[in-house]
Structure 1
Amino acid sequence: MNTRLRAKLASTAPAVAAALLFAGTATHAAPTDPPLAPSSPGRTAEPRDTQASNDRTITTEVRSRLSAARGLDPANIRVSTTDGVVRLEGTVRDDAQRASVMEMARSVRGVTAVSDELKARTD
């Protein structure tokens, strides 16, 4: 090999190696892909203790609203909440009162659904 060519290769080899090194780290340092979307368009998962705390808060608020309602005996209604779904069990005076209780539960912040297990009295 010619001496001139050897000298030229010797002087450019470190520059090429440095360019390749920096080019490789630049692609790994700043990803350009957007973050992955959740696998489900529905609710996102929360830590179990946080959800349980939210459920207790929802149940307390629903019970409070039922206690403040006129003409309603909250002792006849059991309220429980699981994953934001409020379950109402018990008896109410009539269908109008049932609808009112359901609306009270739905209006509480954090409620995702209401399960109606209420029965209207027939006597």
Structure 2
Amino acid sequence: MTPRFRIARLALPLAVLAMAASQAVAAAPTDAPAAPSSTGRTAAPRDTAAASDRAITAEVQARLANARTLDPARIRVSTTDGVVKLEGTVRDDKQRTMAMELARSVRGVSAVSDELRAGTD
């Protein structure tokens, strides 16, 4: 066997292994961090959850405002980790039920805490 043949005999399997390894690396999933925000910082999970809670609160408030029989000025809405808390007063239990159903219908809401009082104060 000539030295050239020995080198070629070793080089071919090494080239095939290198190609297979590069394909495996390219196909592997990455655990890339979140994309940087416009400020150049990466959003922390807590920041993302807080933004989601704010969006949920805004959507619940909008739905309450669009309900013709509810007075949204008398209902306070807050959200923590997807749990919406409704506080304040409503005219009767029918309005309480309506407010709770509207809050539950918002995407991202995991639960609704009812701290509404029926009757006028």
Q: Is the 8 A contact 2:90 2:120 kept in 1?
A: no
* Larger CA Rg, structure 1 vs 2: 1
Please report how far the alpha carbon of residue 102 of structure 1 lies from its aligned counterpart in structure 2 after TM superposition.
1.1
The answer to whether the aligner puts 1:23 opposite 2:19 as a matched pair is: no
Amino acid at match of 2:55: T
In structure 1, list runs of 5 or more residues that go unmatched: 1-7, 37-45
Please report how far the alpha carbon of residue 70 of structure 1 lies from its aligned counterpart in structure 2 after TM superposition.
2.8
Identity of aligned residues (%): 57
For residues 26 and 105 of structure 1, the distance between their equivalents in structure 2, rounded to whole angstroms, comes to: 55
Please report how far the alpha carbon of residue 80 of structure 1 lies from its aligned counterpart in structure 2 after TM superposition.
0.8
Please report how far the alpha carbon of residue 34 of structure 1 lies from its aligned counterpart in structure 2 after TM superposition.
7.2
Across the aligned residues of Structure 1 and Structure 2, the Cα RMSD in angstroms comes to: 3.1
The 3-state SS of whatever aligns with 2:117 is strand
Number of aligned residue pairs: give it. 107
In structure 2, list runs of 5 or more residues that go unmatched: 31-43
> Within 5 Å, which residues of 2 pair with 1:64-103?
64-103=62-101
For residues 100 and 12 of structure 1, the distance between their equivalents in structure 2, rounded to whole angstroms, comes to: 84
Scaled by the length of structure 1, the TM-score of the pair is: 0.64
Residue in structure 2 matched with residue 106 of structure 1 by the alignment: 104
The 3-state SS of whatever aligns with 1:55 is helix
Residue in structure 2 matched with residue 58 of structure 1 by the alignment: 56
For residues 34 and 96 of structure 1, the distance between their equivalents in structure 2, rounded to whole angstroms, comes to: 54
